[in-house]
């Protein structure tokens, strides 16, 4: 019998302005469909400051995945869509399980309420939104809504899904460890191009958002330039809430040694990863850190701060897992730029790590097993 899964998220492809989550949810849906599951998505029309086009909404699918896009209304900032609850309820009538992605928004609250009403179990992927650094962002609002909504969303989940060991540890401190499962995101392994010596290009790939700590990156890049005067920094990713205007002055002293690309598509991202000598991530928190995995898949060394969940970088020697300070980040970048031979070896080890441990078919299969277990538990209880 075909397992039917309904995925719910506040935003979905093609709303890639929100960074990694819509891409990873789309990839998971594709992999689960390829594994034989009936996969559907309910989301809002959100696309940053705008909305998904009417053409996309009318098509009601994305890359072969059925999608119901619910139009947003005021207050749009919390992803409120008047029809959301009824649409989720309709989809759940003949579904086996619901998978909710994220927290702190009306789409999640509506989905959890619909699941309770339809007596359908759900798996919740907080996607890093319960990490201390994430909870500190807009902390007053989250303290207000937590007892009113999110606490119950978390409490009623049949399983909580962590995408990193760090997130798994955080979640097990918040709830019964038996409710928490660890399944990392997958990464598509690109074809390897012709080997070449990479220019001293340092890459940041992600949203322009306070949690990404571009201020720290600016300090670190200044130290890198003292040792590698020809180093160039590319900052690639969508601006969120006008944060670029706040941090851009920190990079002004570097002149044309810094390039801001804005959001890049998949082709542009692959080109940047192939061209980069090193990728840097220094966020205050990440649930997974997709760009790190994508860089390793491309054979690019990485420098990641210990505030991000990538101990594999250190244990598999695919780059440097460093303290969250400008000196430590700069030391890691300088080490990669100074030794091209060692950097190539790091890149090869990173690609092997991704190939062996981070695949979408593995993630899809592991989560399908969880869905089947919680669906069976619900039948037995019923």
Q: With contact defined as beta carbons under 8 Å apart, do 214 and 204 qualify?
A: yes
Task: Give yes or no for residue 198 having a pLDDT over 90.
Answer: no
Q: What is the mean pLDDT of residues 294-303?
A: 96
pLDDT for res 193: 55
**How do residues 123-148 score in pLDDT, each as one tens digit?**
999 998 998 888 888 888 899 898 98
**How do residues 82-115 score in pLDDT, each as one tens digit?**
999 999 999 999 999 999 999 999 999 999 999 9
Task: Give yes or no for residue 382 having a pLDDT over 60.
Answer: no
| Residue ranges with strand state E in 1-149 | 4-9, 38-44, 46-47, 50-51, 61-62, 65-70, 97-101, 122-125
Q: With contact defined as beta carbons under 8 Å apart, do 66 and 41 qualify?
A: yes
Q: With contact defined as beta carbons under 8 Å apart, do 235 and 204 qualify?
A: yes
Q: What is the mean pLDDT of residues 261-290?
A: 94
Task: Give yes or no for residue 343 having a pLDDT over 50.
Answer: yes
No. of helices (H) and no. of strands (E), the chain: 16, 16
Task: Give yes or no for residue 287 having a pLDDT over 80.
Answer: yes
Closest CA to 193 of 102, 277, 270, 282: 270
Closest CA to 278 of 333, 221, 340, 196: 333
Average pLDDT score, the chain: 94
Q: Which helix (H) or strand (E) holds 308?
A: none
The CATH code of the domain at 201-357 is: 3.40.50.2000
Task: Give yes or no for residue 225 having a pLDDT over 70.
Answer: yes
Task: Give yes or no for residue 321 having a pLDDT over 70.
Answer: yes
Q: What is the mean pLDDT of residues 204-208?
A: 96
Q: What is the mean pLDDT of residues 166-188?
A: 93
**How do residues 145-169 score in pLDDT, each as one tens digit?**
989 899 999 999 999 999 999 899 9
pLDDT for res 169: 93
Q: Considering Cα of 63, then 65, then 71, then 77, what sign does the dihedral take?
A: negative
Q: Say how far apart CA 360 and CA 29 lie, in whole Å.
A: 9
Q: With contact defined as beta carbons under 8 Å apart, do 227 and 331 qualify?
A: no
Q: Say how far apart CA 346 and CA 219 lie, in whole Å.
A: 25
pLDDT for res 20: 83
- In this prediction, what percent of the chain has a pLDDT beyond 90? 85
pLDDT for res 379: 54
Instruction: List the domain boundaries for the chain.
Output: 4-186+359-381, 201-357
CATH assignment of 4-186+359-381, among 3.40.630.30, 3.40.50.300, 3.60.70.12, 3.40.50.2000? 3.40.50.2000
- Judge if 4-186+359-381 and 201-357 fold alike in CATH terms: yes
């Amino acid at each position: 019998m075909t397992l039917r899964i309904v995925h719910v998220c506040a935003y979905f492809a093609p709303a890639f302005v929100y960074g990694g989550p819509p891409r990873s949810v789309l990839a998971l849906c594709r992999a689960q469909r390829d594994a034989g599951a009936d996969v559907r998505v309910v989301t809002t029309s959100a696309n940053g400051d705008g909305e998904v086009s009417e053409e996309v909404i009318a098509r009601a699918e994305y890359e072969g995945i059925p999608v119901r896009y619910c139009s947003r209304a005021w207050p749009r900032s919390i992803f409120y869509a008047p029809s959301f609850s009824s649409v989720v309820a309709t989809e759940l009538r003949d579904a086996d399980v619901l998978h909710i992605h994220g927290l702190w928004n009306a789409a999640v609250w509506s989905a959890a309420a619909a699941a309770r009403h339809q007596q359908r179990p759900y798996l919740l992927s907080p996607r890093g939104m319960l990490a201390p650094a994430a909870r500190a962002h807009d902390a007053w609002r989250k303290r207000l809504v937590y007892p009113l909504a999110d606490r119950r969303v978390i409490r009623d989940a049949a399983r909580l899904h962590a995408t990193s060991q760090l997130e798994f540890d955080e979640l097990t401190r918040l709830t019964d460890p038996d409710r928490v499962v660890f399944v990392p995101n997958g990464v598509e392994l690109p074809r390897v191009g012709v080997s070449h010596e990479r220019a001293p290009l340092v890459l940041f790939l992600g949203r322009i958002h306070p949690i990404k700590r571009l201020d720290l990156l600016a300090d670190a890049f200044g130290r890198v330039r003292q040792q590698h005067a020809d180093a160039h920094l590319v900052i690639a990713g969508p601006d969120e809430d006008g944060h670029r205007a706040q941090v851009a002055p920190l990079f002004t002293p570097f002149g044309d040694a810094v390039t801001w690309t804005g959001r890049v598509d998949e082709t542009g991202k692959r080109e940047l990863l192939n061209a980069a000598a090193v990728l840097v991530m220094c966020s205050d928190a990440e649930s997974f850190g997709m760009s790190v995995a994508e860089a390793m898949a491309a054979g690019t060394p990485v420098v990641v701060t210990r505030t991000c969940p990538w101990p594999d970088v250190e244990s598999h020697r695919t780059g440097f897992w460093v303290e969250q300070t400008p000196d430590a980040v700069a030391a890691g970048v300088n080490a990669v730029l100074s030794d091209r031979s060692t950097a190539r070896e790091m890149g090869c080890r990173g690609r092997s790590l991704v190939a062996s441990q981070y695949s979408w078919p593995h993630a899809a299969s592991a989560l399908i097993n969880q869905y089947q277990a919680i669906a069976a538990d619900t039948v037995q209880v019923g």
